[in-house]
Structure 1
Amino acid sequence: MALPVVRALEDCADFTKAVKPFIPQLYDLPARLLDAFAGRENLLKLYAETNPLISGFALSLVLGGVFLVVAEVNRNYSQVDRCWSLLPTLYIAHFDAWARLHGVPSRRIDAALIFSTIWSIRLTRNYWRKGGYNVGHEDYRWEIVRQHVPKAVFHVFNWTFISFIQSVLLFLIAAPVYTVLLASTIEHNLTSADLAAMAINLGLVLAEYIADEQQWAYQSAKKLYKDTGKVTRGFEQADLDRGFITSGLWGYSRHPNFAAEQSIWFVLYQWSCYATRTLYNWAGVGPSFLILLFQGSTWLTELITAGKYPEYGEYQRSVGMFTPKGFSAYKTPALKVPRVIRTSELAKRQQQKEKQQKQK
């Protein structure tokens, strides 16, 4: 049986019942795949008989190996970045297809797939227009990391974190849908809570979209100003001279798009908790690790940015990294105007000085 026998919703989130019994399938999968490719076993039958969490995890390991080889051959370490916006939706589609193949009610999984597809479209478009899919494109931060660590250490970093761990992470943030799949065997219908979770995530995707559009408009205006000296309508020269955006959502959060991204996958996890009537469960590993990853990557991004723009330190003190510090938007600190000393004041000072010398 490719799914556990669950009699209560809480069982769907119990690692010892929902996951642990199927771990041996992972060890048997390579041999069975070889048999399938050799024609000794039906591939669709193998897919159907393998627990969907195990087959999804196995795929993330295979992709990690692909990312590793391609990165080392091309000396380009943004291979996972190119698939970041696609893989979580692929894994959710996998859960959806598996459920349909076995006749498991899939309405709740369909809802997760709808929001995830919209998330993928938005993020893929944003990555594409920034040149992410151009030949040779690499995240600028990897080059900076390479400059500060020994070559051998960076290769180990690629063999572990960049290629494999990130690949597995993209599966783990989608893994809460597995618990929703199990819960659907007991509670078949789409509930108002499911619709609410879907609506919240769509709202977060919209917030991400707005933040990225504001950033794109600013960066486009800054580039035009740098190339031609022209100030785009809607911007002030001082804004462009500053070098980074502080308006719109960016006036309340230094990274509103990152805040929304982390929240999306945390809400999906909370969705699985509600579906299984649990306060927390094992599926929180993925979103938790994602949040830790954003802490590190955002710290590095800000370290680089603060070194480029003098005002960024003040911006960091005034605006929260992810959540607002208050209700007021960021305001550029007023410049200290030097005190103007008039000629008459200089003459008066000179007279006082001469008077003091005569008295001595």
Structure 2
Amino acid sequence: MALPWVKTLEDCADYSQVIEPYLPQLYELPWKIYHAISRHESILELYKNTNPFISGLGFSIFLGAVFLVVSEINRNYSQVDRMWSLLPTIYNAHFAAWSHLNHLPSQRVDLVLFWSTIWSARLTFNYFRKGGYNIGSEDYRWEIIRSRVHPVLFFLFNITFISFIQSILLFLLAAPTYIILLASKFEREALACDIVFTVIQLALIFSEWVSDQQQWDFQTAKKEYQQTAKVPRGCGFTQEDLDRGFITSGLWAFCRHPNFAAEQTIWLTLYQWSCYASNTLYSWAGLGPLFLLMIFQGSTWLTELISSGKYPEYKYYQQQVGAHIPSFTPYKTPKITPKIIRTSELAKRQKAKQK
């Protein structure tokens, strides 16, 4: 059978029942695909008869190999980053499609796919608008690491973490949906709590959009200010804000990385949704969100190391405002701050040099 025969809701989150018995399918899957293609057999039937967790995991491993080859050929190590906004939703769509093809209850999984699609659309728009920026990590971070370690060590880092581990992580972020799929056998229709979880997810996505928009508006105004030495009309920022170099208003007045905080909470919420659906306090499905938290800790550390080196006032910002957990009071510029060369003065000096 492609799905385990679970007797209770709690069994839906039991690794020994819902994952372990199907691991042999993972080893057999490449050969089954090869034989199906060579014998002109139905790939769709193979897909329907393979455990959906295993087929999703197998696809993430395959993509890891693709990311590795492409990154080494192009010497660009952001291949996973480019897919960050799409893959979790693709995996959620996979669980939903598998449910429909096998005529299983799918309302709850469809709700997951609904908010996940909105999440992907928002991040994808943000990615293209900012010319390649994406939630997760950026290419310049890999370049910094690459410049500080031996090429052999960086190659091993690319094989393990950048290409394969991150690819599998993006699948594991959607793994709680597998538990929700299994639990749907007991609750065939969406419940009020499923609607509540969906509303929470949409609110988090909106909050992430607001914080990213605020950052975009600030960086746009700062760029114009650096070029013209004049505060853009109607930008909503003062000369002091733009001279500071980093945003401290809006959601950023209470949290140093409100977009990062929302992103992590989104996947923790999906995990909690799966715990609620399976009537358990915790499960193996928390590995994906937990690993995501670890990645964001490292990513935040590197980002702030760069920011504190560029902006003299940033250390005061760090002292007053939490990195991911919002502070109760907004940031206030200290009365005594280090001497900052105004961005407008820098712009004037650059123009003078050009003349």
TM-based fold match above 0.5 = yes
Name the counterpart of 2:198.
Answer: 198
Q: Which runs of 5+ in 2 are unaligned?
A: 340-355
Deviation at 1:39, TM superposition (A): 2.5
Name the counterpart of 1:34.
Answer: 34
Name the counterpart of 2:346.
Answer: none
TM-score by length of 1: 0.91
Which of 269, 272, 275 is the matching residue for 2:274?
272
For the residues of structure 1 that align with 2:54 and 2:165, how far apart are their CA atoms?
Answer: 16
Q: Return the letter of the residue paired with 1:299.
A: W
Name the counterpart of 1:324.
Answer: 326
Q: Which runs of 5+ in 1 are unaligned?
A: 339-360
Q: Which one has the largest radius of gyration?
A: 1
Does the 8 Å contact 2:108/2:194 carry over to 1? yes
Name the counterpart of 1:13.
Answer: 13
Task: Go from structure 1 to structure 2 and tell me whether the alpha carbon gap of 1:253 and 1:40 turns closer, same or farther (over 3 Å shift).
Answer: same
For the residues of structure 1 that align with 2:130 and 2:141, how far apart are their CA atoms?
Answer: 15
Residue by residue over 1:126-151, the C-alpha shift from the partner in whole angstroms, topping out at 9 and shown as x without a partner, is 111111189xxx62111111111111
Residue by residue over 1:60-102, the C-alpha shift from the partner in whole angstroms, topping out at 9 and shown as x without a partner, is 0000000000000000000001000000000000000000011
TM-score by length of 2: 0.92
Name the counterpart of 2:157.
Answer: 157
Residue by residue over 1:304-350, the C-alpha shift from the partner in whole angstroms, topping out at 9 and shown as x without a partner, is 1111111111110110001123x221011124799xxxxxxxxxxxx
Does the 8 Å contact 1:99/1:106 carry over to 2? yes
Does the 8 Å contact 2:197/2:273 carry over to 1? yes
Task: Name the % identity.
Answer: 60
For the residues of structure 1 that align with 2:151 and 2:248, how far apart are their CA atoms?
Answer: 37
For the residues of structure 2 that align with 1:336 and 1:15, how far apart are their CA atoms?
Answer: 54
Task: Go from structure 1 to structure 2 and tell me whether the alpha carbon gap of 1:109 and 1:337 turns closer, same or farther (over 3 Å shift).
Answer: closer
Does the 8 Å contact 2:312/2:338 carry over to 1? no
For the residues of structure 1 that align with 2:265 and 2:20, how far apart are their CA atoms?
Answer: 28
- Give runs of aligned pairs for residues 111-122 of structure 1, distance below 5 A: 111-122=111-122
For the residues of structure 2 that align with 1:336 and 1:77, how far apart are their CA atoms?
Answer: 38
RMSD between aligned residues: 1.5
Name the counterpart of 2:104.
Answer: 104
Name the counterpart of 2:239.
Answer: 237
Is 1:256 equivalent to 2:250 in the alignment? no
SS at match of 1:173: helix
Q: Return the letter of the residue paired with 1:15.
A: Y
Deviation at 1:219, TM superposition (A): 0.2
Deviation at 1:246, TM superposition (A): 0.5
Does the 8 Å contact 1:32/1:41 carry over to 2? no
